[in-house]
Structure 1
Amino acid sequence: MKNGRVGEKGWNFEANDVLANAAKVTIRGTLETIMSNIDCGETRSTISLCLGDPSVYPCFHTTPIAEDAVVSALRSSQYNGYAPVGGVLSARRAIAEYLSHDLPYKLSPDDVFVTVGCGQSTHIALSVLARPGANILLPRPGYSYYEARAAFSGVEVRHFNLIPERNWEVDLDVVESLADEKTIAMVLINPGNPCGNVFTYQHLAKVAETAKKLGILIIADEVYGYLTFGSNPFVPMGVFGSVVPVLTLGSISKRWIVPGWRCGWLVTSDPNGILKETKIVDGIKNYLTISSNPVTFVQGAIPQILGSTGEDFFNKTIDILRQAADICVERIKEIDCITCPCKPEGSMSFMVKLDVSRLVDILDDVDFCCKLAKEESVLIIPGSSVRFKNWLRITFAVEPSSLEDGLQRLKSFCQRHAKK
């Protein structure tokens, strides 16, 4: 036996190398590398400023209404079997009503497909759209999961820029220059991950007109929908569904602070029926026949979760996020080698620029984050993992005292490595 081979023929199988390459560009893959630098002898607790999962902190707790809804659905014994393709009807109806509140048209349950979180929605959308030679336009910086899923689906990725000097608006000139007859879609994340921006109505209208001109659909990632605390209100991309067909992706993960419940949706925001004509809807249904659904009792709880949660709960979460964002902006001002071009106005993370020329023994943003983890037990994602080298992605969905501690450690690290 040599190199795992047996006899003359050897084994006929090996791992798909696309997976190995895709994993390298994901946030989770990057985090594994960063975490490997943690000093096991460190007595201080590790502070994570890298993942949008605030559920570990007592100040971020889902509403009892959501918990009671799940318990009630589970104990009803009505949701112990398999869910229908597309999801439980009552859940689809509730999601349609929830998303229709801010649209100029009404969604139908037939427009809604319940998914295993927003991640599966992404996978479905890219799988259905994939065809030989196709390419998709992704934002830079962006959420690297799209790039990984596109690679696995055999779809070429082309990046358009978000412009920090213009509050991370889309560079529409670049979008037009990148697109060709094989471009299938562009991804828009609003509120922004990783930038913390919130697009204005006027800018979204321009994006919609550009996509229409290019003949492509928009994949609108709105998993952070309504988590805004700046001057710009959240505007669903579906508002422009009559201009350009939109696949809206979302979930209860962020707004209800339950990412582990894994219940999301993929919605065809398309009053003109273009996605039906082009067989995209059929493709989604076909995909779901070979896939799995979220657990049925969580789906059974969706009508109560979406319909009965009061504004007080949402306002409390937004107030904490606003306070945390303010803390970040003020503390970053105290660090010479890091600058914040735009104050975050939504979601749970934002981007800051790292000036490595001001530091000693720091090669780039990846080296910075690895050494920060080793010396201070603070976890931050390097901008390279979201295609923005020598920037940092900081998550502020953290309990304020822990956030203060983490940013103080970040400041100490930068002062220790500062050029004299």
Structure 2
Amino acid sequence: MTRASASPAEPRSAAPAFPGPLPAALAATSEPPVMEARRWIEGKSFPAERPLLNLSQAAPVDPPPEGLRRAIAEAALNDPQAHLYGPVLGLPALREDVAARWSRDYSGEIRPEDVAVTAGCNQAFCAMLATLAGPGDAILLPVPWYFNHKMWCDMMGIEARPLPCDADLNPDLAAAEARMDGVTAIVLITPNNPTGAEYPAGLVEAFAALARRHGAALMLDETYRDFDSRDAAPHALFSDPEWRETLVHLYSFSKAYRLTGHRVGLAIAHPARLAQAEKFLDSVQICAGQLGQIAALHGLRHLDDFVTGQRDEILARRAVVRDSFRQALPDWELMGCGAYFAYIRHPFAEDAETLCKALVDEQSLLILPGTMFCPQGDPLGPQSFRVAFANADADGLRDALARLADFSAGRARR
């Protein structure tokens, strides 16, 4: 049975007093949720018969395949340019290969000058948002939202306007229409983090049309596109010759090629927008790491079969969760399940964060509470959990469901 081990917890001591005034926007920004969850397991030991199952973070824990590691090592040893600054918007060969691959996959026309390589997808989001919104502007974020998107908005003085989702956890188009005043961008993630929902193509295209009518952008984060259960392209936005006027596409190489530590992501957008984003990138990191970019290029050219195998495995794990959930947890609700995530509703009066901490102590299981993905006061937050299941195999997932069932039975007996 494959079990996700706990990442090393950072040393934690009493927080020192901040030496001077702290900007209000930063002070009001929430703590990083994954780091907070790690502190729940800090210093704790777990019984041998029930080791820790860490399903809190959506990141592969296995190393890249050997061929990719060799490509990185060979570049590190033999390519002097791999240790220098590169072009701010990325290696030309990588931009060219991305443009060709995405044009094929989406039946559209994407040119190398439409592509910017970034130090991870979070940086792509931050850089592109800098071209779309500033203090006093608003963007729409479907709820539950990805917490780092919300945190960046808070730090930048941008209003993250909550957009409700329907029972299938798809963003509500009519509600979005009613909330567009002052909105400069709509942000969608599909397959979604944290819910796993795969947004229907027609819905994504309708949101693009909504953004266009209001002079806004659609920022479409497709970090998990390699694990979408649909065989066809998830949308037809790139087939529109005018896509550059509205669409900003984001992606991460971290998941498909297990390159989380190398930090390689990308944005695809109008070249004029990328030219403005270049100011941001040059001021923050100058360029994505060369070795990570070389690895991503190797992956695009040589690892299609590996990615297909990863997708098949993730879809098999999703099937285990879907097929076993109702029998294991008849009083719970599986609200969403796809890509790396299951989003579930618990039946208890206690709030999700209290329950998550109890799960660590009583079941050696670490998952994240919905309060990390919802605005304060939203009733869904205290009622829900995100389970990141990519780092547990089928047996591990059945074990996780069994632990939740044991936890539920124990609560029922109280």
Note the 1:15-30 alignment, pairs <5 A. Answer: 15-24=22-31, 26-30=32-36
Q: Which residue of 2 aligns with 1:246?
A: 247
Note the 1:224-303 alignment, pairs <5 A. Answer: 224-229=224-229, 234-235=234-235, 237-239=237-239, 242=242, 245-268=246-269, 270=270, 276=272, 280-292=273-285, 293-303=287-297
Q: Which residue of 2 aligns with 1:184?
A: 184
SS class of match (2:30) = helix
Question: CA 1:30–1:337 in structure 2 vs 1: closer, same or farther (change >3 Å)?
Answer: farther
Quick check: 1:87 aligned with 2:90? yes
SS class of match (1:220) = strand
Question: CA 1:240–1:332 in structure 2 vs 1: closer, same or farther (change >3 Å)?
Answer: farther
SS class of match (1:290) = helix
CA distance in 2, matches of 1:251, 1:236: 20
Quick check: 1:330 aligned with 2:317? no
**Counterpart among 36, 40, 44 of residue 45 in structure 2:** 40
Q: Which residue of 2 aligns with 1:360?
A: none
Q: Which residue of 1 aligns with 2:74?
A: 72
Note the 1:203-218 alignment, pairs <5 A. Answer: 203-218=203-218
CA distance in 1, matches of 2:395, 2:67: 27
**Do the aligned partners of 1:176 and 1:214 also contact (CA within 8 Å) in 2?**
no
**Do the aligned partners of 1:249 and 1:266 also contact (CA within 8 Å) in 2?**
yes
SS class of match (1:320) = helix
TM-score by length of 1: 0.84
**Do the aligned partners of 1:187 and 1:220 also contact (CA within 8 Å) in 2?**
yes
CA distance in 1, matches of 2:44, 2:292: 39
**Do the aligned partners of 2:132 and 2:217 also contact (CA within 8 Å) in 1?**
no
- 1:221-273 Cα shifts (integer Å, max 9, x gaps): 111112123587533754457255111111211112221221111221x4xxx
Deviates more, 1:153-162 or 1:328-337: 328-337
**Do the aligned partners of 1:66 and 1:304 also contact (CA within 8 Å) in 2?**
yes
- 1:46-105 Cα shifts (integer Å, max 9, x gaps): 11112112324xxxx633342233223223323221112212222222222222222343
Q: Which residue of 2 aligns with 1:306?
A: 300
**Counterpart among 101, 108, 111 of residue 111 in structure 2:** 108
Deviates more, 1:65-74 or 1:389-398: 65-74
Quick check: 1:138 aligned with 2:141? yes
Matched residue type, 1:40: S
Deviates more, 1:73-82 or 1:406-415: 73-82
CA distance in 2, matches of 1:241, 1:72: 40
Q: Which residue of 2 aligns with 1:367?
A: 354
The number of residue pairs the alignment matches comes to 387
Quick check: 1:347 aligned with 2:316? no
SS class of match (2:255) = coil
Percent identity over the alignment is 23
Q: Which residue of 1 aligns with 2:64?
A: 62
Q: Which residue of 2 aligns with 1:170?
A: 171
Question: CA 1:238–1:386 in structure 2 vs 1: closer, same or farther (change >3 Å)?
Answer: farther
Unaligned stretches of 5+ residues in structure 2: 1-15, 375-379
CA distance in 1, matches of 2:151, 2:24: 12
